[in-house]
Amino acid sequence: MANCVIVGINWGDEGKGRMVDLLTDRFDVVVRYQGGGNAGHTVINEYGKFALHLLPSGIFRKGVVNVLGNGVALDPENLWKEMQTVSEQGITLSPDNLKISDRASLLLPWHRDLDELEESRLGGKKFGSTKQGIAPFYSDKYQKKTVLAGELFYPDAMRAHLADLLEWKNLTLTKVYGASPYTMTMLEEWIAAYCDKLKPYICDAGAFLRSAQAEGKDILFEAQLGSLRDLDYGIHPYTTSSNTLAAYAPIGSGLPSAKINDVVGVVKAYSTCVGEGPFVCELFGDEAERLRAAGAEYGAKTGRPRRVGPLDVVATRYGVEVQGATELALTKLDVLSDLERIPVCVRYLVDGRETDRFPFPAALAGAKPVLEYMEGWNCSISGVRRWEDLPPAAQRYVLFVEQAVGCPITYVSVGPERDSIILRGRGKA
């Protein structure tokens, strides 16, 4: 039996969804274990192009059971809309292939309102939230002021619970932000419109996963965002509000007894970042715009342009370390094909000294990139499927990254499609 986690190594948007979609032919179960609708996993396959925000990326594989674990910020409204979208494109969804943990907390309508209100209040000091309610949701969760999905099966108790939360939350909305309050009628209408439709999918997902484990099923755990957005180990305070690391997968999935065999870290052949916060290797002006256009670097959820830069060895090595990555997938190598010289950030200059260690977050604002340049290959590689057919300069780039970050690169993507991948030997996953 293999338990594998697919994680982001940098700031998110590395291509985790396409890797899950690629690898799910080897797994029986795919589990989302943290985060919510604040990020998008783009998948291109025989069904079309999809930007998934809540659904696990294994939903396209027949025979694979997909689970939303207890660690997920369960947004019933956006999840139901996403389910309708994929169903309309020919994907079959049923309680047999999609299960929602009864211990997952519901992201309520006021969480999005509070997210937007707080970002507006912060003004120029904003964190760059996607305004999907994630920070207010997790804040409430750890204050024990959320509603569990399983409470939908106990409507009287749930109504009383919501009434208590409503009084408390309206104080924040009206007295802190001067916003309009919610009513119980508004919440009941929202529950009927979205939550009740999800009830057939809600179950004891932990029990299902324990049974799957006992039966020797192979389980793939899917993370959202990347190492540098982790609540504890990321670029505080410009992080998400959940733990994006592989180590959290057993807890957030509902299978605390799981032993992780492999951790596939996903990293782009260059760097991208959505949101605010330090981004040491960031490019600006025409150079940034050319890279952004070549890689179609626009947020899957927000559509906003991603910040871009050269591959950051310092940040990537740190991401590999905190994730405990056993192998890497290097994505979007093809985007660099038109560059004559390829910049790589190999060290930081911090307080007048060069370092190859990722510094404490407070030191990042003053850090400067130290760049080295590698020879480009100046030809299209999108049709290449074998390592030995890559141009020598492209091979040297991959090998340089592998050695610099200290982790084997077993997958190299040269395009967005499922089969646009080069296997350097076969990955462990």
Cα–Cα dist 383/403, whole Å: 26
3-state secondary structure at position 376: coil
* Six-digit token string for 88: 């309309």
Using CA atoms, how far residue 89 sits from 68, 94, 417, in Å, is 21, 15, 17
Which helix H or strand E contains 220, and what residues bound it?
strand 219-226
3-state secondary structure at position 309: strand
Alpha helices in 90-131 (DSSP H): 109-122
* Bridge partners for 67 per DSSP: 31, 99
Please return the burial class of 357, using the count of CB atoms within 10 Å of its CB with bins 0-12, 13-18 and 19+.
exposed
Residues with active-site annotation = 13, 41
Q: How many other CB atoms are found less than 10 A from the CB of residue 202?
A: 23
Alpha helices in 298-391 (DSSP H): 313-323, 361-364
